[in-house]
Amino acid sequence: MRSIHLVWGLVLCAWAGVAGAAAAPNLVGKDAPDFVLKSLDGRNLRLSEFRGQVVLLNFWARWSSDSREELPALDRINTTYQRAGLVVLGVAVDEDQRRARDFADAMKVRYPVLLNTSPDIGRDYLLQKMPVTILVDRAGVVRYSNVGFKRGDERAYLDQIRELLRE
């Protein structure tokens, strides 16, 4: 009897896993949802105005340790590839905007950092974990979506960026 319960438990776990995987939606292949946000330097930036350029969109949060590791790597990528037509945009999803601003200043990132003032963005970009790095091609279509960050992931980003820049 106990073994039957165990089997049922395993089946349910497997089903939940499959259902969970199916519920984890992905924006890849779809148009990147447009937004306009205020950057730390006071400018308002709209994503669709970068159509024609490859955009790396990085959603980060101050409390995420992975984000802390990722920001310097993205800054290096930005300095190397911005002349080739890459636009790096950071979006701070912290609720406390003042702290997010202080954090971004402390990290000394040289690309535009936007403050998330719109509640729609998290929903539109299906943000569930931090950080999320999305690559949008010149036509405004999401081509890659990278969730989380480990050291060495920037190499994968480079491959993706080069591929999109070549198109």
Give the residues lining the site for other proteins (CB under 8 A). Answer: 36-38, 43-46, 49
CB of 131 to other proteins, least distance (A): 24
CB of 49 to other proteins, least distance (A): 6
Q: For residues 57 and 161, which CB has a smaller minimum distance to other proteins in the complex?
A: 57
CA angle, residues 24, 48, 119, in degrees to nearest 5: 50
Q: For residues 44 and 80, which CB has a smaller minimum distance to other proteins in the complex?
A: 44
Q: For residues 44 and 65, which CB has a smaller minimum distance to other proteins in the complex?
A: 44
Q: What does the alpha-carbon distance between residue 143 and residue 164 come to, in Å, rounded to a whole number?
A: 9
DSSP-derived pairing of the beta strands 54-60 and 132-136: antiparallel
Q: For residues 31 and 49, which CB has a smaller minimum distance to other proteins in the complex?
A: 49
CB of 42 to other proteins, least distance (A): 8
Tokens of 80: 């190397």
Q: What does the alpha-carbon distance between residue 136 and residue 157 come to, in Å, rounded to a whole number?
A: 12
31, β-bridge pairs: 141
